[in-house]
Structure 1
Amino acid sequence: MGYGERNSWIGLVVAIASITVYLLLVVPQLASTPVADIDWAQPMLWTIVGGIVASVLAGIVWGTLVRMRHDDDRPVEDVRDRDISRMGSRVGQGFLVLGILGALVLCALTAEWFWIAQTLYVGAALSALVDCTARVIVYRTGMP
């Protein structure tokens, strides 16, 4: 498994984990707490920052373990890796744009801050998931 594919897998696993943690912290509050009183900002911030830190640390640890087993394995990115990266970004960006447009609509409708933030979060989360998933699929099946 090459450097790019390894990082795509890490991104996918960490994105799923951090989104799951955030949902487990926030969704249960919807049943018993008014939307204006839901504590969403800190969990959102911590799961985003935690996801970034976890991705970096997982990349370092996995890369170190691979280098220990195969000393000749260098983090090399070739044309195929760059093409796959661009393709994944293009596919994922659509969801980010939809999240931003949705948040703008909610702002125009003067919706609660909670719903605006959740719309932005969902757009970013879907963007990351689709981006990493597309990259992993292409690494496994080849470019279309």
Structure 2
Amino acid sequence: MSSEEKRTWIYVVVGVGVAVVYFATVLSKVPGTDVATIAYVWPMLTAIGVGIAANIVLNIMAAILAPREADKTDERDKQINRLGEYVGFYVMSVAAIVPLGLAMAKIEQFWIANTLYLAFVLAALASSIVKIVAYRRGF
């Protein structure tokens, strides 16, 4: 497994894991509560920060455990990365329509912020899945 594929796996696991914990924590407060009173800003910022920090730490650990592979990339890695980023861009572009529509409808900020965060998560997940499939099935 190349270092780029390892990075992609780390990105998927951390991204999905952090998002699941965030949404489980915040959305569990929704039933029976006015969403305007739910404190979501700090938990969301914490989730984003933890996701970034965990990715950095785990990628450093992966590089330490396999130092020969750490900086090796080839043309295939670049093409796979490009394809994954294109797919992620399109998913984000489409998914961002939902929070935009919610903002235009003057829906509560809670829903706008959370659907935008979900759009970022879905884009990262789609991008990573495309990359992993490309690595596994060939490109």
TM-score, normalization: structure 2? 0.94
Task: Give the equivalent residue in structure 1 for 2:126.
Answer: 130
CA distance in structure 2 between the aligned counterparts of 1:32 and 1:39, rounded to whole angstroms: 15
Q: Say whether the 8 Å CA contact 1:99–1:121 is kept in structure 2.
A: no
Check 1:74–1:20 CA distance in 2 against 1; reply closer, same or farther (3 A cut): closer
Alignment of 1:1-144 (within 5 A): 1-67=1-67, 72-143=68-139
CA distance in structure 1 between the aligned counterparts of 2:65 and 2:80, rounded to whole angstroms: 24
Check 1:85–1:56 CA distance in 2 against 1; reply closer, same or farther (3 A cut): same
For structure 2, the residue ranges without an aligned partner over 5 or more in a row are none
Aligned residues: 139
TM-score, normalization: structure 1? 0.91
1:9-63: per-residue Cα shift (whole Å, max 9, x none)? Answer: 1101111111111112111101132111112111111111110110010000011
1:54-98: per-residue Cα shift (whole Å, max 9, x none)? Answer: 00100000110112xxxx434111110010001111111122112
CA distance in structure 2 between the aligned counterparts of 1:15 and 1:25, rounded to whole angstroms: 15
Aligned sequence identity (%): 33
